[in-house]
Amino acid sequence: MKRINRKRAFFTTGYILMLAAMVYVLVYMPTPYLIYGPGGANEIKLMVKVREGDSIERGTFMMTTVSARYANVIMLGLSKLDRNSEIQRKEDRLHGRSEDEYAAEQVWYMGDSQSSAMEAAYTRAHVPYRIVPDYVYVFKVPGSNSVFEPGDEILELNGVRVTDNRSIRKALEDEKSGKMAKVKLKRDGKLLIVQAPLTTIMDSETGKQRSGFGVSIATVQKVEPKDERKTIHFTSTDVGGPSAGLMFTMEIYNQLTPGDLSKGYRVAGTGTIDKDGQVGAIGGAKYKIVAADRQSADLFFVPADNYKEAKAKAEQMGTRMKLVPVRKLGDALNYMEKLPIKP
């Protein structure tokens, strides 16, 4: 009897261990892959507001996103059955960057696209404005540097306010490599004071050597209208990247000008924007088409360079959503202005 019980215990233990191993492999074991697919189609009027703008909008303007999920073995198998999903290697996205560096870069791109959208909308609406450097943003940190983190906002050096590369150069012009600099920065919403070692770097603007921190930085700028009533405020989002620029501009322009540009339509789209209103190509157009269709969009603005990809996906889906290729902001605005008001 004892021998039978031992055998039973042995097989039970083996079964449990085998089951645990299977669960680990299928669910918890990391893989070097990401699954890309449709993200969301989010209403921009909830994200941006002109201080004293015209916010009446029967329809809506929507930004579209791509979903990128870290994949376990089960998810990889299921994605093979989903024609709206695609598997890619993580490294194809990171290109040698760390996860934190990639995330910080996407945050910076989003902020930059918002600034460009404000400039393009102000220009189109004939609202005078000025550009003011705000702070220095860290988006890449070498492994040898343990002081800074991607996403840090540098505010002061040795008690001196810094807002761009030029002000950093001036604040450190008398400092030598090997010394420590007192840095005031913001990290995850909290103010910190740190001591950072200086090293010799090549200044990207002057081409000369000088003391610095050896981290990759960018200037974050504020766009300030002459008329404070036209000030634009963005709410924070968990979305990164530059591809919402066109749709941000459409919503801002609608609030800056009288009347309802949406005319009752659900308008989705994608595309980068520059201050002159030029619309640039983006990645993942085929996923964004699906996201917009799921939110019952009536039409979708797509960069002309992405139109072929978007059209092929729209035909595969059989969507009734109208695709409109654009090369500049004026193309999208003119299209909306010619539309009849939706009943």
CATH number at residue 290: 3.30.230
Do residues 214 and 297 both lie within one domain? Answer: no
275 domain-assigned: yes
How many CA within 13 A on the CB side of residue 149?
Answer: 10
Say which range, 80-89, 97-106, 295-304, has the weakest mean pLDDT. Answer: 80-89
Distance set, CA 147 to CA 188, 197, 211 (Å):
15, 8, 16
Who contacts 54 (Cβ-Cβ below 8 Å, separation ≥6)? 254, 255, 256, 257, 258, 259
Can you give the pLDDT at residue 5?
64
Do residues 248 and 317 both lie within one domain? Answer: yes
Do residues 285 and 323 both lie within one domain? Answer: yes
266 domain-assigned: yes
Rounded-to-integer distance, Cα 275 and Cα 282, Å: 17
343 domain-assigned: no
Distance set, CA 10 to CA 1, 4, 19, 23 (Å):
14, 10, 14, 20
Over the stretch 85-125, which tens digit does the pLDDT of each residue have?
888 888 888 888 888 999 999 999 999 999 999 999 999 99
In eight-state DSSP terms, residue 258 is: S
- Positive or negative, the CA dihedral 224, 127, 117, 228 is positive
Q: What is the CATH number of the domain that holds 173?
A: 2.30.42.10
pTM higher than 0.75 for the full model?
A: yes
Question: Of residues 33 and 294, which shows the higher confidence score?
Answer: 294
Do residues 213 and 241 both lie within one domain? Answer: no
**Of 195, 221, 247, at which residue does a domain stop?**
221
Rounded-to-integer distance, Cα 101 and Cα 148, Å: 11
Residue 190 domain boundaries: 133-221
Do residues 191 and 269 both lie within one domain? Answer: no
Over the stretch 246-284, which tens digit does the pLDDT of each residue have?
999 999 999 999 999 999 999 999 999 999 999 999 999
19 domain-assigned: no
Do residues 201 and 243 both lie within one domain? Answer: no
**Of 167, 198, 221, at which residue does a domain stop?**
221
Catalytic residue IDs? 243, 288
**Of 221, 243, 264, at which residue does a domain stop?**
221
18 domain-assigned: no
Over the stretch 228-247, which tens digit does the pLDDT of each residue have?
999 999 997 778 899 999 99
Neighbours of 295 (CB within 10 A): 16
The count of domains in the chain is: 2
Do residues 264 and 182 both lie within one domain? Answer: no
Do residues 190 and 258 both lie within one domain? Answer: no
